[in-house]
Amino acid sequence: DAKTTQPNSMESNEEEPVHLPCNHSTISGTDYIHWYRQLPSQGPEYVIHGLTSNVNNRMASLAIAEDRKSSTLILHRATLRDAAVYYCISDPAGNNRKLIWGLGTSLAVNP
């Protein structure tokens, strides 16, 4: 079973920020949180990952709650190309990268 839970779908307008939530109340202190996104008929694309501190890269920001029970992926200005399924995944240390994928959040971006 996935250790993370996400809303099934979300909707946003183009040029507006998007906050994608993820609950992971049962992960351990050494489990990294990874975010990927997947467009139809394509492979998962890496977005961002973190452990405890908030992280920023050119694609997005990741805000991790202080108690690590939840995190939020932030797309600062949504574009139509950001419409995809977003997966929040825990990656336990020493687990041979057996990532457990849920169904993710399907993000629709309105023009």
Partner 1 sequence: NAGVMQNPRHLVRRRGQEARLRCSPMKGHSHVYWYRQLPEEGLKFMVYLQKENIIDESGMPKERFSAEFPKEGPSILRIQQVVRGDSAAYFCASSPRTDSGNTIYFGEGSWLTVV
Residue 108 exposed, middle or buried by CB count within 10 Å (0-12, 13-18, 19+):
middle
Q: Does 24 bind partner 1 (CB under 8 A)?
A: no
- The least CB distance from residue 54 to partner 1, in Å, is 16
Q: Does 106 bind partner 1 (CB under 8 A)?
A: no
Q: Does 49 bind partner 1 (CB under 8 A)?
A: yes
Angle (nearest 5°) at CA 70 between 27 and 5: 75
CB 36 within 8 Å of CB 87: yes
Using the rule CB under 8 A, which residue among 53, 81, 97, 111 binds partner 1?
97
Q: Which residues contact partner 1 by CB under 8 A?
A: 2, 30-32, 34, 36, 41-46, 49, 51, 87, 91-104
